[in-house]
Chain A
Amino acid sequence: MNSTKRIQVRLNGKDRDVTSGHTVQSLLEAIELNPLAVVVELNREILDRNRYSDFDIREGDTIEVVHFVGGG
């Protein structure tokens, strides 16, 4: 993260500007989500939560962050 360059991603259905240089792990931390309490899909691929740091966020990525809610 050596610059303040910003990239655009689609996060949970909304276009967002984020600082470049994030991994999935650091992005979750930046938006104050507990990485262990969510499941992440990056460009339709479900990620192993032990490897969030291995995945870089790139311009145009589609990221879905889901969790369990009440349901029947």
Chain B
Amino acid sequence: MTTTDLRATPEVSQGLDNPLEIAGVTFTSRLIVGTGKYTTNQIMVDAIRASGAEMVTVAVRRVDLDRTQEEAILHHLNPQEFFLLANTAGCYTAEDAIRYARLARAAGFNEFVKLEVIGDDETLLPDVQATVEAARTLSDEGFKVMAYTNDDLVTALRLEEAGCVAVMPLASPIGSGLGVVNPYFIREIKRRLEVPVIVDAGVGTASDACVTMEQGVDGVLMNTALAAAEDPVRMAHAMRCATIAGRLAFLAGRMTSREIAVPSSPRVGMLD
């Protein structure tokens, strides 16, 4: 099995789906993955390749000057192979998030940032007011902001107004693995926004990714579901399949569900 087989998403080349486009950049994979919490860097790289993801998230942190070990993610992950999406994870104020975003941009890869401003330590739910404020400032500075938010439609609309290039409502709290707790609001956000809607956080297993994509959203972002699986590489394969399956099922248009059975075989032509 080669990695190039995995990176290609045949559904796009076969005309079954369009590529995902975010602020003029196109991706054949609708799955975006994080790089945190893996037990080893090799497992991380193998899992990311297996997931087929082209865009990966990274965090900005101090270099640990007391340790000789190379912790830098780019030591393990080739920035030519993956589109790096720096996040502002760990920030609790708009000011801090803006500072981290600027530091990330100074690394010189791209203008994209995954904006995340946490409002509550226990649930890691976003501070939506601070997120909108930071989104406005960063968009004005030319950043392509992909904003992590809750599943609130009005906040999503405000983030789009603020100039975000993608709005990323959560499925459920970060790292919870609870899946999509509010599919209705995810669909409403998708229905009302023009920018891509990417569900970020809360996916636990493949069926969650599938259900997420069945809501019609443009993509799904996950980290813990892969990193904390017993076999992250195998789970990454599963997530790749589930993301594609959910997307194609959405595009195909599901049958109407009903509370009564309808036979699939003819009622006529039965023997006496």
Contacts and interface: CB of A to CB of B under 8 A. Distances in A.
A71 B103 contact: no
B34 A72 contact: yes
Contacts of B174: 72
Contacts of B104: 39, 68
Interface string A31-71: 10100011101000011110000000000000011111111
Interface residues of A, number: 23
A11 interface: yes
A14 B67 CA distance: 14
Contact of B65 (A31, A37, A71): A31
Nearest to B74: A68
A69 B107 CA distance: 13
Contacts, number: 93
A70 B63 contact: no
Interface in A1-42: 11-14, 31, 33, 37-39, 41
B253 interface: no
Interface stretch (B19-27, B54-62, B180-188, B235-243): B54-62
Contacts of B9: none
Interface string B23-36: 00000000000111
A70 B108 contact: no
Contacts of B175: 72
A27 B96 CA distance: 26
Given A66-B62, A71-B36, A41 B73 contact: no
A33 B63 CA distance: 9
A31 B64 CA distance: 11
B71 interface: yes
Contact of B63 (A46, A47, A48, A67): A67
B54 to A, nearest CB: 16
Contacts of B71: 67, 69
B44 A46 contact: no
Given A39-B106, A46-B106, A70 B36 contact: yes
7 contacts: A37-B72, A38-B63, A41-B103, A67-B74, A70-B35, A70-B38, A72-B87
| 10 residue pairs, one from A and one from B, having the closest CB atoms | A71-B59, A72-B34, A72-B223, A70-B35, A68-B58, A70-B36, A71-B36, A39-B106, A12-B62, A72-B36
Interface of A: 11-14, 31, 33, 37-39, 41, 46-49, 64-72
